[in-house]
Structure 1
Amino acid sequence: MCFENQSIVVTGGNSGIGRAAAKSFRADGAKVAILGRDQATLAQSVAELEVFGRSCDVTDRSALEVFMADAAHHNGQFDVLFANAGIAAFTPFEGHDPANFKQVMDVNFHGTVNTIAAALPHLNDGASIILTTSVANQMGEPNSVAYAASKAAVKSLVSTLSTELAPRGIRVNAISPGPTATPIFNKLGLTGEAIEQTRAFVSAATPANRMGEVSDQVDAVLYLASKRSSFVVGQEIVVDGGLTSCASLG
């Protein structure tokens, strides 16, 4: 797959799947723009990957519009948008915290909507939009009400926007990662032995007998971004090692 001179935007491009995708696009000749909230990791990624980048909160529509306009000016109109920025939060529903629920929805769902809306004027006809959902939107795991709902809402965009943007030839698809070894996984409040136990537990519950790696997700992203997937529209590609064929992790 060759992305020579294509203009590509990756949100959440300063870590995890987003950073790895940006690195792969860049290595394949693309002109890449990334954004992220953490200024330190963003600056490091911009320097190491040699990409255009800026610290930006996806809940801030005005800031996103400025970023997208500047990225388009720097790299040209966009051929690919990978709307990947998001947060993970897992808490029991009992004692429901409306503020926490709103934060997760604001970042994961409204942030994705803001990202697409801000990028749309700068997208070439025939561009590819790739969203990041999660197997949480279909598994019904405990303690994931806010996160699962936010990712299910993102999944709904795949179908509706595919239809609405079809006249411009813009394809909308999503990757749906299973448990993957990313910084988000390491921020779940687990430490040391607990992390290794969780990895072992998840691996045992997965037909592939391992946790997902970032590279597993990036391969799917690159496929959806490429012309090889030109007849793939409105789909959610589940990359989970077969986990969702199991009834539950619980």
Structure 2
Amino acid sequence: MMQLKDKIAVVTGGNSGIGYATANELKNQGAKVIITGRRKEAVSQAADELGVDWIVADQGNVSDIENLVSEIKRKFGKVDILFINAGVLGGSAIAEATEEIFDQVINVNFKGAYFTLSRFIPILNDGASVVFLSSNTASMNAANSSIYSSSKAALNSVMKIAAVELAPRHIRVNAVSPGPIETPILSKQGYDQATLDGIKDWIIERVPLKHIGKAEDVAKLVAHLSQPESSFITGSEFLIDGGMSL
């Protein structure tokens, strides 16, 4: 169904994983999609595969975000759907934390996401949908996750305040909080296959539904929150983690 026909949609970090699947879902529902990413080769290849537009932008750099907004305004006008998806993993025990790891995670996951919303607000159409990619870890308390979990918890707070601030323009702001999802993000941490298999087994044991989710599961939820049927939903966090956080 072409629920989003002729809508302009921006997906940050759309070259892989959840962002890639969401860009595909939005396109299949009729939206005109623009994906972003830090690496030109990766984002251009993904855009070719998906049949969408692309712009190189690093969400961890505010000047990149501002240039992105200017380029989208020039090429596409205003935006109807903004999925602030780009993010990085990283963490350590609090006693062993380094400023480098802290800045790497916070600059992308929180500061970058915050300023993406901030700078896009002037070019959002009234009635637009904004969705943050948060995480079920925002409300969990695992060791060694303080930096990553804090970055996502902060996003959830901003999401709710933004929902209040933007309500007069009927702009809805929500967050989706996945648990374990099959994406390349763990592979990018440099683990070998045996370690990856061990991590997956460990995760599955802690998920009541006993399996890892798919990026397409999250994509369909983001698309639903962007449809007219969700016009009365704002300021909400949607867990999609197989019951892991219960």
State TM-score, norm by structure 1: 0.94
The answer for the alignment partner of 2:203 in structure 1 is: 202
Give the residue type in structure 1 aligned to 2:225: L
Q: Which residue of 2 aligns with 1:158?
A: 159
CA distance in 2, matches of 1:29, 1:223: 13
CA distance in 1, matches of 2:175, 2:113: 12
Amino acid at match of 1:137: A
- Note the 1:9-24 alignment, pairs <5 A: 9-24=10-25
Match of 1:173 in 2: 174
Gaps of 5+ in 2: none
d(CA) in 2 for partners of 1:90, 1:60: 20
Q: CA deviation at 1:119?
A: 1.1
Q: Return the alpha-carbon distance in structure 1 between the equivalents of residues 220 and 32 of structure 2.
A: 18
1:75 aligns to 2:67 (yes or no): no
Matches within 5 A, 1:112-127: 112-127=113-128
CA distance in 2, matches of 1:44, 1:173: 29
Instruction: Name the structure 1 match of 2:42.
Output: 41
Q: How high is the sequence identity, in percent, across the aligned residues?
A: 37
Q: How far does residue 91 in structure 1 lie from its aligned partner after superposition?
A: 1.9
Instruction: Indicate the larger mover: 61-70 or 35-44.
Output: 61-70
Q: Secondary structure, in 3 states, of the residue corresponding to 2:200?
A: helix
For the residue of structure 2 that corresponds to 1:94, the secondary structure is helix
Give the SS at the match of 1:243.
coil
Asked if 1:148 is matched to 2:149, the reply is: yes
What SS does structure 2 have at the residue aligned with 1:13?
Answer: coil
1:125·1:168 contact (CA, 8 Å) conserved in 2?
Answer: yes
User: After the TM superposition, which residues 194-233 of structure 1 pair with which residues of structure 2 at under 5 Å, given as runs?
Assistant: 194-233=195-234
- Alpha carbon RMSD of aligned pairs, Å? 1.3
Q: What SS does the corresponding residue of 1:140 show, helix, strand or coil?
A: coil
Range moving further from structure 2, 197-206 or 154-163: 197-206
SS of the counterpart of 1:165? helix
Aligned to 2:100: 99
The answer to whether the 8 A contact 1:69-1:122 is kept is no
Partner of 1:45, secondary structure, is helix
Match status 1:188 vs 2:189: yes
User: Does 2:127 match 1:139?
Assistant: no
Counterpart Cα distance in 2 of 1:77 and 1:114: 17
Deviations 1:129-169, CA, capped at 9 Å, x for gaps: 00011111111011111101101111111111011111111
Deviates more, 1:21-30 or 1:235-244: 21-30
**Residue 10 of structure 1 contacts residue 34 of structure 1 at CA under 8 Å; is this kept in 2?**
yes
Q: Distance in 2 between matches of 1:166 and 1:100?
A: 35
Distance in 2 (alpha carbons) for counterparts of 1:235 and 1:162: 9
Corresponding residue of 1:248: none
Task: Give how far 1:73 is off.
Answer: 3.0
Letter in 1 for 2:204: S
Q: Secondary structure of 1:242's match?
A: coil
Shift of 1:192: 1.1
Distance verdict in 2 for CA 1:217–1:115, change over 3 Å: same
- How many angstroms apart in 1 are the aligned matches of 2:75 and 2:33? 10
1:26 CA drift (Å): 1.2
In structure 2, relative to structure 1, the CA distance for the partners of 1:88 and 1:191 (3 Å cut) is same
Residue 61 of structure 1, CA deviation: 2.1
Superposed displacement of residue 38, structure 1:
1.9
Q: Compute the displacement of 1:184 (Å).
A: 1.2
Alpha-carbon shift at residue 185 of structure 1 (Å): 2.3
Q: Equivalents in 2 of 1:16, 1:197: separation in Å?
A: 21
Q: How far apart, in 2, do the equivalents of 1:24 and 1:74 lie?
A: 22
- Structure 1 CA distance for aligned equivalents of residues 136 and 190 of structure 2: 20
**CA contact 1:31–1:75 (8 Å) conserved in 2:** no
